[in-house]
Amino acid sequence: MRAGSEAEFPAMAKGLEAEPREVVNTLEAPQRIGGEPVWDYRVQFRTVHGYRRAFIRTGRGPAILLIHGIGDSSVTWEHLLPFLAIDHTVIAPDLLGHGASDKPRADYSVAAYANGMRDLLSVLGVDHATVVGHSLGGGVAMQFAYQYPERCERLVLVSTGGVSNDVHPILRLASLPDADLLLPLVGYDLTRLAVRAVFLAFQKLGTDLGRDAADFLRVFDTLPDATSRSAFVRTLRAVIDHRGQVITMLDRCYLTRGMPTMLVWGAHDAIIPYSHARIAHAAMPGSRLETFENAGHFPHHAEPARFLAVLRDFLSTTSPPVHSSEAWRELLRRGKTVGPPLPPAGHSASGT
């Protein structure tokens, strides 16, 4: 069982919610006295296609799917879960090859992850959800919205991958063909101490990479065994090579027309440059852009209270679009030559 940090936020009511048997999207959020956060929740497991998938499910109400980045897990959302669960069903999975989920020799492409999210939601009885993705998870979220637009109510992309090819050189090096031969060194204490010293030095020097030193070290510590390291490399090579990111969502961004979309980015992101935020914002009709001036690659960690406020405002001021297969076909036929961007359903103007 996991609990949110009471040091970061005031602790209120506690109690594990029973998993509802009804389809999630038919449920209304129950009344909570004072809107108390749900501090207690547990990691659950479901076997899908023969592989065990780990996930957290808490709260009750409209569904929110939270997708973490490469090498990370649902832990990245833990400080937000109790507050989102006040009036939403929150589902935070560990992607295949990550966290407590199985780590098989399998397809770790963005499209395969999007399929995995659809299948997990189906198993859990969730027909549609607001999809929030960080880094690699943002690419998965965008792919999910592309493959299953009828199941995506809103799209929130946090420091997302898949915009342009720029990415930190460390990840380019890690994707090289023979780089995996060096990965066993990660298991040695001396290597881990050296890596920790380097990141702490970056932090003391005030570099952009150092802003997220604690998070990078946390991710680094999730690679203790060969199975985890192999899954990490397979995932990395599916999206990055020596020239940078190998996938882009820009060719299909016009399909978000009518989909409430918000981009959240740290101005000091050392992994995926902030310039990508402006490129994506310009390419996605009617999208909002929220810039966290003092954050790096993890804006939801740097300023959790503001991130929660921004997300809640987005949820409350937008409405899920009504999906039309005919409108979707027309967008595909017309391609990028569609007219001036229109604000998405439930939102009057794009942010800056």
Q: What is the pLDDT of residues 204-216, one digit of tens each?
A: 888 888 888 888 8
Domain shared by 139 and 174, yes or no: no
Burial tier of 267 (Cβ tally within 10 Å: 0-12, 13-18, 19+): middle
Is residue 345 assigned to a domain? no
**Angle at the Cα of 301 (from 4 to 146), degrees rounded to 5?**
100
Q: Are 89 and 57 in contact (CB under 8 A)?
A: yes
Q: Please tell me the distance from the alpha carbon of residue 122 to that of residue 36, in angstroms, as a whole number.
A: 29
Inform me whether the pLDDT recorded for 144 exceeds 50. Answer: yes
257 and 162 assigned to the same domain: yes
- Please tell me the predicted confidence (pLDDT) of residue 175: 61
Q: The CATH number of the domain where 269 resides is what?
A: 3.40.50.1820
Is 347 part of a structural domain of the chain? no
Q: Do 145 and 51 share a structural domain? A: yes
- Burial class, 54, CB count within 10 angstroms (exposed 0-12 / middle 13-18 / buried 19+): buried
pLDDT at 118 over 80: yes
Q: CA 25 to CA 141: how far, in whole Å?
A: 19
187-191, 283-287, 344-348, range with greatest mean pLDDT: 283-287
Whether 59 contacts 86, CB under 8 Å:
yes
Give the residue from 192, 213, 241 where a domain finishes: 241
Query: Does residue 344 lie in a domain region?
Result: no
- Final residue belonging to a domain, choices 214, 241, 268: 241
**What backbone phi and psi angles, to 5 degrees, belong to 12?**
-130, -130
Q: Which of 32-36, 236-240, 268-272 has the lowest mean pLDDT?
A: 32-36
Q: Is the pLDDT of residue 49 over 60?
A: yes
The pLDDT score that the predictor gives to residue 184 is 63
The mean pLDDT of 300-315, rounded to a whole number, is 96
Q: Structure tokens of 277? A: 């935020």
Predicted local distance difference test score (pLDDT) of residue 200:
84
Based on the domain organization, do 250 and 146 belong to the same domain? Answer: yes
Asked if residue 349 belongs to a domain, the reply is: no
Shared domain for 178 and 327, answered yes or no, is: no
Verify whether residue 297 is a known catalytic residue: yes
Residues 204 and 98 occupy one common structural domain = no
Which member of 73, 101, 135, 159 is catalytic?
Answer: 135
| Rounded Cα gap, residues 317 and 217, in angstroms | 36
Angle of helix 213-220 relative to helix 189-204, nearest 10 degrees?
170
> Distance of CA 244 to CAs 98, 162, 248, 250, Å?
22, 10, 11, 15
> What span, in angstroms and rounded, lies between the C-alpha atoms of 323 and 325?
7
**The total number of structural domains that make up the chain:** 2
Same domain, 17 and 152: yes
Whether residue 214 lies inside any domain: the answer is: yes
Q: Which residues form the domain of 204? A: 169-241
Residues 234 and 106 in one domain: no
Is 266 in contact with 302 (CB distance < 8 Å)? Answer: yes
Contacts 24+ apart (CB under 8 A), 176-180: 176/242, 179/233, 180/229, 180/230, 180/233
DSSP conformational letter for 288: E
Residue 220 lies in a domain: yes
Q: Which residues contact 80 (CB under 8 A, 6 or more apart)?
A: 66, 300, 304, 307, 308, 311
- In a domain, residue 316? The reply is yes
Q: Quick one: pLDDT at residue 36?
A: 80
Pair 85, 175 in one domain: no
* Residue 186 and residue 153 share a domain: no
The catalytic residue among 98, 268, 269, 300 is 269
Q: Is residue 287 over pLDDT 90?
A: yes
Instruction: Say yes or no to pLDDT of 319 above 80.
Output: yes
Are the C-beta atoms of 67 and 98 separated by less than 8 Å? no
Lowest-confidence range among 176-180, 251-255, 274-278, 286-290?
A: 176-180
**Active-site residue, 269 included:** yes
113 in a structural domain: yes
Q: Check whether residue 278 and residue 266 sit in a common domain.
A: yes
Question: Active site residue: 297, 300, 301, 347, which one?
Answer: 297
The residue among 216, 241, 266 that closes a domain is: 241
| Beta strands at 152-158 and 240-241: parallel, antiparallel or unpaired | unpaired
DSSP 107-156: --SHHHHHHHHHHHHHHTT---EEEEEETHHHHHHHHHHHH-GGGEEEEE
In terms of DSSP H, where are the helices of 257-347? 275-283, 299-302, 304-317, 325-334
pLDDT, one tens digit per residue, over 20-31 is 434 444 444 444
pLDDT at 338: 46
* Cβ atoms 314, 320 nearer than 8 A: no
Q: Which residues make Cβ contacts (< 8 Å) with residue 36, sequence separation at least 6?
A: 12, 13, 86
- Residue 325's nearest CA partner among 114, 143, 150 is 150
Same domain, 138 and 52: yes
